Amino acid sequence: DTEVTQTPKHLVMGMTNKKSLKCEQHMGHRAMYWYKQKAKKPPELMFVYSYEKLSINESVPSRFSPECPNSSLLNLHLHALQPEDSALYLCASSQVPGETQYFGPGTRLLVL
């Protein structure tokens, strides 16, 4: 089983809202990732968690705040987003950092 789940599938939020994206995997993977993807573009890495610790932050604005409550869960907290943050947000996991990444279906975010 190589399933990564993400909720919600779609999210519309205003620029003053606070919302969270959730990602879950039960494959025992110890690395989890957040990506942002614009239409017709490759995904852009945002954050990497390795063994539940933040190991890579790709200079992402502080309005995006990741959290890894346990080895199966990854959250992305959103606050005061801008319209240009509208995108598909993808979560991925791998057994360990650098190994094959398995992606979830994504959350399509629209910021109004």
Partner 1 sequence: AQSVTQPDIHITVSEGASLELRCNYSYGATPYLFWYVQSPGQGLQLLLKYFSGDTLVQGIKGFEAEFKRSQSSFNLRKPSVHWSDAAEYFCAVGPNAGNNRKLIWGLGTSLAVNP
Please give the residue ranges that form the binding site for partner 1 (CB under 8 A).
2, 4, 6, 40-43, 45, 48, 55-56, 90, 92, 97-98, 100-106, 108
Which residue number, 64 or 102, has a Cβ lying nearer to partner 1?
Answer: 102
Place of tokens 């789940």: 5
Q: How near is the Cβ of 80 to partner 1 at its closest, in Å?
A: 26
Q: What is the DSSP string of 54-112?
A: EEEE-S--TTEEEEEEETTEEEEEEES--GGG-EEEEEEEESSTTS--EE---EEEEE-
Place of tokens 């399933």: 3
Which residue number, 6 or 64, has a Cβ lying nearer to partner 1?
Answer: 6
Which residue number, 48 or 81, has a Cβ lying nearer to partner 1?
Answer: 48
